[in-house]
Structure 1
Amino acid sequence: MSISHISLSLLAAVRQWLTQAQAGSDHRLPPERKMAEKFAVSRAELRKVLAALEKEGLIFRHVGRGTFVAPTNQSHTTMPEEVASMTNPVDAMQARTILEPEIAKIAALHATSNQISEMSDLCRKMRTAQSWDIYAELDARFHDLVAEATGNIVLIEIQRIVNGVRRYVLWGNLVKRPVGPAEDYHSFSEHEEILAAIANRDADGAKKAMLQHLGGTRSHMRDQIPSLN
């Protein structure tokens, strides 16, 4: 499920409702029908929001019992859509350019073999993604994983926010044709170059590869988002 297709206002409203402890005493959410009526939306729209909240770990589903508020809910004080509502494509790209090259540099020094293996698997899957939604999920996971490879919880959490913001502010504004990325989509080789540098423990190379990737992304977006020019 692509978060770019979710109403930010609805997502924020449901999140606020959750944090105000409006769920039942057993932390179980009301049935979808009642929640859809409460927020005056269709059940399909509500399911998109619940799927996003589940992916973030704010709620969880128990087959046969219902959907529950996760115990860790209160630890998430800053959410991407909150920041996205206050920013713009220029600032989002500026933040990425400052942050992600340094993250890649550190990741090259600390990434585990399992993390490198997962990066490789993500690169392979991105090349065969059958839709932009699938590609977007894989792409976001790749960038989050690079941050996780630093082992620095502060950088990981900052990257989580920046990654979410760019998917709302940048990715969600693009007109993506055809159904999925073409075989020669620029990001494929750019991700692989980042991976190669990290796998080779080439810190400066990883930083350079990430900078080149962000430059390629900016160039790709300029025609569709004039403010990036």
Structure 2
Amino acid sequence: MRAWVLSQSKPNGGEQAVGQLREFIAEGGFEPGVRLPPERELCETLGMTRNTLRRALDALEREGALWRHVGKGTFVSSAEAAPADPMVELGRQITPFRMMRARLAIEPAIAREAAVNASGKALMTMQLAMERAHSAPDWAEYERQDDLFHRAIAEASDNLLLLTLFDQLNGVRRAVAWGNVVRESQRPSPDHSSFAEHEAIAMEIASRRPEGAYEAMRNHLKSVSERLFGEA
């Protein structure tokens, strides 16, 4: 395998990071079926942050150049060789609006269960995600923390079936084409409505109010839907 030589200028995200990762794979002689090094090693080799690397990996996975196996790693593939992922295929067929309707049907019920079963650790995980979302330097990091917040609620339900259902729902959400979403700022403003909405959900869960948690999550998702589509 040819040694990889770092370029003098480090990528700061987007297409440059994707191009650098693509070049690393080509120059490194990674053939279809070969597993890439772990993320930590890739970050050190490519001079990328973990978030930048993950966005680049996501982009190449959508192209079919990579595929992932949970617990085993990320593998190189051709579009023909990549194993079919039913969640990704479903995400390519569903509209963002239908995706939001599915979230409205499922996530409030998960929040209700979280209010019954949440542990102290789960509540701390939610709080940490909210704090990091507030201080996120850009939309990508905010969205990552938003994702972690919602998954923490699913974990707090203490129900493996609900957590698995959430992960599948989230897998489809990631695959949906959100090309119509335009960001007008580098990061969320301090009065971004989701901050207060997340706090309301967390408070209802921490206070052990199942129906309040259900309504708080439903109100949050309706608010997101209204911002995206003009209607809930």
The residue number in structure 2 matching 1:213 is 220
Judge conservation of contact 1:109–1:201 (CA < 8 Å) in 2: yes
Q: Structure 1 vs Structure 2: percent identity of aligned residues?
A: 31
Question: Given residue 203 of structure 1, which amino acid in structure 2 is its aligned partner?
Answer: P
Please list the CA deviations of residues 198-217 of structure 1 after superposition, one character each: whole Å capped at 9, or x if unmatched.
11111111001001101110
CA distance in 2, matches of 1:77, 1:148: 27
| Pair 1:92-2:106 in alignment | no
- Report the 3-state secondary structure (helix = DSSP H, G, I; strand = E; otherwise coil) of the residue aligned with 1:85: helix
Higher relative contact order (CA 8 A, sep 6+): 1
Letter in 2 for 1:138: Q
Correspondence 1:161-172 to 2 at 5 A: 161-169=168-176, 171=178
From 9, 33, 44, give the equivalent of 1:23: 33
Q: Which residue of 1 aligns with 2:192?
A: 185
Give ranges in structure 2 of 5+ residues lacking alignment.
1-12, 19-31, 43-54, 77-82
CA separation of 1:132/1:47 partners in 2, compared to 1, >3 Å: closer, same or farther?
closer
> Which residue pairs with 1:114 in the alignment?
121
Instruction: Flag the structure with higher helix content.
Output: 1
Question: Whole-Å Cα distance in 1 between the matches of residues 101 and 71 of structure 2?
Answer: 28
Is the Cα contact below 8 Å between 2:123 and 2:202 reproduced in 1?
Answer: yes
Which residue type is aligned with residue 23 of structure 1?
A: G
Give the 3 Å change call, closer, same or farther, for CA 220–105 of structure 1 in structure 2: same
In structure 1, which of residues 181, 203, 207 is the aligned counterpart of residue 210 of structure 2?
203
> How many angstroms apart in 2 are the aligned matches of 1:55 and 1:121?
28
TM-score by length of 2: 0.66
Pick aligned residue for 1:129 from 133, 136, 139: 136
State the aligned residue count.
181
**Contact 2:91 2:174 survives alignment (8 Å):** no
Q: TM-score, normalised by structure 1?
A: 0.67
Structure 1 residues 197 and 179: CA distance shift in structure 2, 3 A: same
The change in CA–CA distance for 1:142 and 1:172 in structure 2 (over 3 A counts) is: farther
Query: 114-123 or 156-165: which moved more?
Result: 156-165
